Amino acid sequence: MFYFSLIFQFMNVTHLECANCGKEHEANKLQNLCIDCGKPLLVRYDLAKAAETLTKDALKERQSTLWRYCEVLPVENKENIVCLGEGWTPLLKTDRLAAALPIKLNLYIKDESTNPTQSFKARGMTAAVSMAKELGVKKCAAPSAGNAAGALAAYAARAGMEAHLFMPSDTPRANIIECEQTGAFVTLVDGLITDCGRIVAERKDAEGWFDVSTLKEPYRVEGKKTMGYELAEQFGWKLPDVILYPTGGGTGLIGMWKAFAEMQMLGWIDSRRPRMISVQAKGCAPIVTAFENGARFAGEFPDAQTVASGLRVPKAIGDFLILDALRESGGTAIAVTDQELLAAVGEIGAAEGIFCAPEGAACLPALRVLIDKDLVKENETVVIFNTGAGVKYLECF
């Protein structure tokens, strides 16, 4: 049982705001994309009000889940929170791994595999499903490359909702079984996650589903942003120099960038930001391509292929938000081969005992590229995000 203190101040949400055109939308009703331009909506808060109870000292007494930051999360009634103990994942210093690099670094792994359902997707789904419950949803639907489906299945089951999931037929078997065993309705599709997304869009109205696709509703990113809050808190309110983040849909990177802005407004951090590094597979690198071309929006990547299923997202609806964060932070985007990311799984595992998902492991060869290009300096603090558990990808090995 997860206890939520009565002193917590819930519901400081003021409105939803289009990330592209700025149009305001009501926060107390179901919303998907902006009604004007069709781009993602972001939740905005009265941060002055939130700061009355959300303080650094108050956090010392709170539970070790992401709901410790409830004043900057969207749920109004704590009874609607659907929690499985997500968040507050380990930040591990990885000295043996760092010793194999050509320069001296303070290297850390933020290990999201310890979340419920063994990936960072649990963060997004606890927020999305909690809000869906609060707003009266009975049936949720989403396309997924694997881990998001497992998380939605689990949180929907916990909330007493139906989950309708559409996944590529070559999704890792562990994800498929996970969804089936937590009561979801699973449909396998001969195609990519974008094909699955089209099916959800075509059928949702007739079936009565609420679409919780990545960034097609405003709340998954709110759960993901807590990675940024945790990182700051675990580092004593000083952010690292560099963050490497494996990027498919990119919600985690977008969420952290949002969190940093909120924390500055709360007075917790200053204006300095980590250099944000988007890591993709060479077989599916739409963000890398757009970044290198100086584009604000990314085109759909042709013939997307990679064993890292979470990176096989040929078109991300939040592409411009990812690219904005990279450029504003002085970061970049790096693509690595499947051979490199799979080799990195074993290297990280042997050095540190962490069996990373291929997506997270991709950050290690990307870090080597950064070092070769002199984009990371001696003695800087670098954080790699491992977004999931390698045990879910046994087919890759």
Please check whether residue 367 lies inside any domain of the structure: yes
Please check whether residue 271 lies inside any domain of the structure: yes
Is residue 103 within 8 Å of residue 372, measured between CB atoms? Answer: no
**Average pLDDT of 300-320?**
94
- Indicate the SS3 state at residue 36: coil
pLDDT at 375: 98
Whether residue 3 is predicted with pLDDT greater than 50 in this model: the reply is no
What is the Cα Rg of the chain in Å? 19
- Indicate the SS3 state at residue 197: helix
Q: Which residues contact 27 (CB under 8 A, 6 or more apart)?
A: 13, 14, 15, 16, 43, 74
Please check whether residue 180 lies inside any domain of the structure: no
Please check whether residue 293 lies inside any domain of the structure: yes
pLDDT at 145: 85
**Average pLDDT of 50-58?**
95
Please check whether residue 124 lies inside any domain of the structure: no
Quick: pLDDT tens for 158-214: 999 999 999 999 998 999 999 999 999 999 999 988 899 999 999 999 999 999 998
Quick: pLDDT tens for 78-113: 999 999 999 999 999 999 999 999 999 999 999 999
Please check whether residue 358 lies inside any domain of the structure: yes
Instruction: State the alpha helices, DSSP H only, in 1-75.
Output: 47-50, 56-59
106 alpha-carbon distance from chain centroid = 23
| Total structural domains within the chain | 1
DSSP 133-192: HHTT--EEEEE-SSHHHHHHHHHHHHHT-EEEEEEETTS-HHHHHHHHHTT-EEEEESS-
Domain of residue 241 covers: 91-117+221-396
pLDDT at 11: 77
CA distances from 233 to 56, 177, 259 (A): 8, 36, 12
pLDDT at 7: 41
Report which of 68, 112, 103, 374 is spatially closest to residue 245, judged by C-alpha positions.
112
Is residue 142 within 8 Å of residue 166, measured between CB atoms? Answer: yes
Please check whether residue 99 lies inside any domain of the structure: yes
Can you say whether the dihedral through the CA atoms of 358, 356, 142, 176 is positive or negative? positive
The band of 10, judged by pLDDT with boundaries at 50, 70 and 90, is: low
Q: What is the CATH number of the domain that holds 237?
A: 3.40.50.1100
Percent of the chain with pLDDT over 90: 94
Please check whether residue 132 lies inside any domain of the structure: no
Which amino acid is residue 337, in one-letter code?
A: T
- Indicate the SS3 state at residue 336: strand
